Amino acid sequence: MPDPITDDQGNAVTTHWYDDLAGDDEGRQETLSQFESADDFLADYSNAKNYDWRGAVAGDDDKFKSTLDRFSTPAEFGTSFREAQQKIRSGQLRPELADDASEEQIKEFREQNSIPLEAAGYLEDLPDGLIVGEDDKDLMLDFMGAIHEAHAPREFANKAIEWYNRFEERQQDAIVELDTEQAREATDMLRDPENGWGKDFRTNMNLIKGLLSGYMGEEASDQLTNGRYQDGRGFFNDTNVLMGLANLARKVNDVAPLIDQDPEQLKSLNDEIAELEKYQKEKRTAYFKDEAAQARLRELYDIRLRSTKTEDAA
């Protein structure tokens, strides 16, 4: 039996099996003190060294086990998992949905990722200032259906709607600008006495309006009036279209716009007559030298007279 260990004063000193192993390191001393003997410590260390932490984490999921083989230690896997979770919460990553996911899994995935259960849900509870007009609703529902199949989050849909609205506004502004410019060009040309109608401009426009409404009906007339070529030019900004319709209207019935006694058309006719009559009274000398004005007034009188006869016959 070995002699007991004493200090300089001869007092017995308590010793532990791990004193030499731990030395003065208090942390090691505290850890090793949990084991009663070196054999206990070695047995635990052996078990820990051979511990299948991947199997404990993955269970029977062989695919997950294969993924865990990429990590050398549980600590390395834990660090990777924590970083991935941080990216998901910050929006950098989004969990993926398996191709063979069940309906219940798809529903849960959408609920967890700000995705409406139905495509129409994208158009509900839109942010302030964001709207979808009735004319665009069918188109947007079709588009929302496509991105819903890809499980796009609501924020993506909002951005898509916002972009579409801005695109539509730009398109409308461009059309208005184009129409204004082309309408002015067409009007200037048709009012020109040499290359256009000159003073017959107003009458011809009335004749065209009467021809379309009388023979095509209001709906078809509006469709033609507001129709466009593929390059964006409006039909009624094309002088060839207007001249052709005016010629057709005169051949069919040059009093067609007055047969139904449309107040606006009659007012236009009477206003032009009144202007020429005022010209005749106030500037007689100039008027009697103006053969075009005289011929125009006679033409207007004739149209109004025949219109009256047509109405009486009806």
Give the structural domain span for 252: 200-313
Q: Does 103 score more than 70 pLDDT?
A: yes
> What's residue 42's pLDDT?
67
- Same domain (yes/no): 178, 239: no
Write the pLDDT tens digit of every residue in 23-65.
788 887 787 788 788 777 767 766 666 667 677 777 788 887 7
Contacts of 127 (CB under 8 A, 6+ apart): 158
**Tokens standing for 233?**
């030019």
Write the pLDDT tens digit of every residue in 221-256.
888 888 898 888 899 999 999 999 988 888 776 554
Q: What predicted TM-score, i.e. pTM, was given to this entire model? A: 0.45
- Same domain (yes/no): 142, 218: no
The stretch 132-158 carries a mean pLDDT of: 88
Q: What is the dihedral of CA 239, 240, 241, 243, to 10 degrees?
A: 80
Q: Does 313 score more than 60 pLDDT?
A: no
> What's residue 260's pLDDT?
45
Confidence of residue 266 (pLDDT cuts 50, 70, 90): low
The answer to whether residue 49 is domain-embedded is yes
Query: Which residue type sits at 242?
Result: L
Per the structure, the count of domains in the chain is 3
Q: Does 275 score more than 80 pLDDT?
A: yes
Average pLDDT, the chain: 79
The stretch 143-150 carries a mean pLDDT of: 89
- Same domain (yes/no): 67, 153: no
Q: Does 146 score more than 80 pLDDT?
A: yes
> What's residue 230's pLDDT?
87
The answer to whether residue 8 is domain-embedded is no
- Same domain (yes/no): 267, 299: yes
The answer to whether residue 297 is domain-embedded is yes
- Same domain (yes/no): 204, 309: yes
Q: Does 123 score more than 80 pLDDT?
A: yes
- Same domain (yes/no): 215, 280: yes
Q: Does 152 score more than 90 pLDDT?
A: no
Please name every residue paired with 6 in a beta bridge, in sequence order, or none if there are none: 12
Confidence of residue 189 (pLDDT cuts 50, 70, 90): very high
